[in-house]
Each structure stands twice: as structure tokens, then as C-alpha cells.
């Protein structure tokens, strides 16, 4: 026996249950995303099947979107912590 690790076989297609397990959500959520066109899929013999390449493309989009949201959150936080200067032309408070 050799100590080499063999790569795991890649399935031809994923089912919504497979994707739900990978993404830690329900199969119903995956089916909704398929219906809404977010994840390309096809019907075969009454089963919904998703090509692995389409799944990985979807995951990359999710990751990119999450990174964009994080960047925006950091920018909002930085703007919130920035010291404010009085605007020009605003009246000063009287004592």
C-alpha cells in the first residue's frame, strides 16, 4: 500500500441537499435560490441537479459580496469615528 492520498472523486452533479450541507442552510433555501435564478440548475428524471462549476461560481459571488459588505461596514465605522468639523455658514450657538 502506498501512503499517497488519492483525490476525492468529484460528483457529476450536486443536489439541493448537497448544496445545503455545504452552505449550512436548508434545501428549501437552495431551491428558492435556484427558482430565483441565482444558482443555475436543471431537472433530470424529476430531480434538481446543479453542475459543480455553477456551484463554485455561485460561492465565489457570495464571497465577493460578503467582502464588499465588510468593506462598506468598515468605511461606515471609520466615518462614524471621524471627528466632525463644523460646516461653513452654520450659525454658532449663543451663550
Report the pLDDT value the prediction gives residue 39, as an integer from 0 to 100. Answer: 93
- Does the residue 87 lie in any domain? no
Distances (CA, A) of 83 to 19, 75, 76, 80: 46, 14, 13, 8
Q: What is the pTM of this model?
A: 0.62
Q: How many domains does the chain have?
A: 1
The pLDDT value given to residue 91? 64
Asked whether residue 76 is assigned to any structural domain, the reply reads yes
Residue 74 inside a domain? The answer is yes
In a domain, 54, yes or no: yes
Ranges of residues in the chain whose predicted pLDDT is under 70 = 1-3, 6-10, 83-95
Please give the C-alpha separations between residue 75 and each of 2, 20, 57, 62, 83, in angstroms, as whole numbers. Answer: 52, 32, 27, 20, 14
38: in domain:
yes
The pLDDT assigned to 79 comes to: 82
Q: Does residue 40 fall inside a structural domain?
A: yes
pLDDT of residue 54: 93
Domain of 26 in residue numbering reads as 16-80
User: What are the tens digits of pLDDT across the range 58-74?
Assistant: 999 989 988 998 999 98
| Within-domain flag for 48 | yes
Amino acid at each position: 500500500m502506498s501512503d499517497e492520498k488519492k483525490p476525492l472523486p468529484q460528483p457529476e452533479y450536486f443536489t439541493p441537499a448537497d448544496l445545503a450541507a455545504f452552505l449550512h442552510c436548508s434545501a428549501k433555501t437552495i431551491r428558492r435560490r435556484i427558482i430565483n435564478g441565482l444558482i443555475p440548475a436543471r431537472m433530470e428524471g424529476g430531480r434538481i441537479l446543479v453542475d459543480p462549476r455553477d456551484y463554485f461560481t455561485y460561492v465565489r459571488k457570495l464571497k465577493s459580496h460578503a467582502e464588499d459588505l465588510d468593506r462598506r461596514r468598515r468605511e461606515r465605522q471609520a466615518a462614524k469615528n471621524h471627528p466632525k468639523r463644523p460646516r461653513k455658514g452654520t450659525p454658532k450657538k449663543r451663550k
